[in-house]
Amino acid sequence: MSVDYHRMTTVDAQDFCASDGIVIVPIGATEQHGPHLPLGTDFTMAETVAQRAAQDVENVVVTPAIWTGYSPHHMEYTGTVSLRSETLMAMIRDVAESLWHHGFRRILFLNGHGGNMNLLGAAAQTLRFELDVRITVASYWSFASDAIANWRKSPLGGINHACEMETSLMLTSHGDQVKPEQATNTPITFANPYLSNDLLGSGAVATPWDFAEVTADGTLGHPELATAERGRELLEAVVRGLVGFLEDFKRWDWQNPQTIVGRNDAR
């Protein structure tokens, strides 16, 4: 069976739903990624990771990617397409409600754009507590945080945007879309110790800022350290992490949440 949701007929979809399968909805953005990566990097990688993991786990399908996200902080760069926050949340809600309506109960929105996560979380809360629709949300890199920490060659500030990580992943999966000779070394170092400047950073506070305020060409990080071979290594780690979650997700029982998150009955 194909892992592509859109290739199913309505009869196929009915059978898949009855089998209690998992539906992955990749979501990303169309936004600038410096002079060396394509505008579609975020949704491309979310879709790539989802597709590869689905091939390794039985009873998983992947929908077409949601190709636009929340990217107002990239609008100073030509090519970026951004949704309003309320538009993106409505899209997430409508997709989730549609799937839930048909009986799908294992839905994962797999994100490839950092700017989407707060809205994905808010949408998940709204769906759960206002509509009793349950979804899970995650960014693909979250399944390999430890692997990324050991894999990286750059110091903090080197993995942020169009960086060592994203460039390596794109080189190994869609190398024909990458222009490595155009990559610039543009790490970010915040003068304020309370702000995070890295994917793996842990700043105490967060505040919105426009990319044009901190980088001239849209790059933040060390893309010059990227190689296709290193990308293959990291992509395999990310896919392994997601596969592990999908196998666990199959056992989740929404009617008995204590079997998922545990419970403390102490008084």
Residue 148 · residue 235 · CB < 8 Å: no
Count of domains in the chain?
1
Residue 68 · residue 81 · CB < 8 Å: yes
pLDDT of 201 above 60: yes
Asked if residue 261 is part of any domain, the answer here is no
Cα 114 vs. chain centroid, distance in angstroms?
7
Residue the block writes with tokens 């809600």: 93
Domain residues for the domain of 100 are 5-254
Q: Which phi and psi angles does 186 have, rounded to 5°?
A: -135, 65
Asked if residue 233 is part of any domain, the answer here is yes
pLDDT digits 0-9 by tens, 107-152: 999 999 999 999 999 999 999 999 999 999 999 999 999 999 999 9
Asked if residue 266 is part of any domain, the answer here is no
Residue 201 · residue 156 · CB < 8 Å: yes
Instruction: Assign residue 39 the CATH number of its domain.
Output: 3.40.50.10310
Asked if residue 165 is part of any domain, the answer here is yes
pLDDT digits 0-9 by tens, 174-200: 999 999 999 998 887 777 889 888 999
Asked if residue 221 is part of any domain, the answer here is yes
Asked if residue 265 is part of any domain, the answer here is no
How far CA 254 is from CA of 169, 249, 261, in Å, comes to 34, 11, 11
Asked if residue 260 is part of any domain, the answer here is no
Asked if residue 259 is part of any domain, the answer here is no
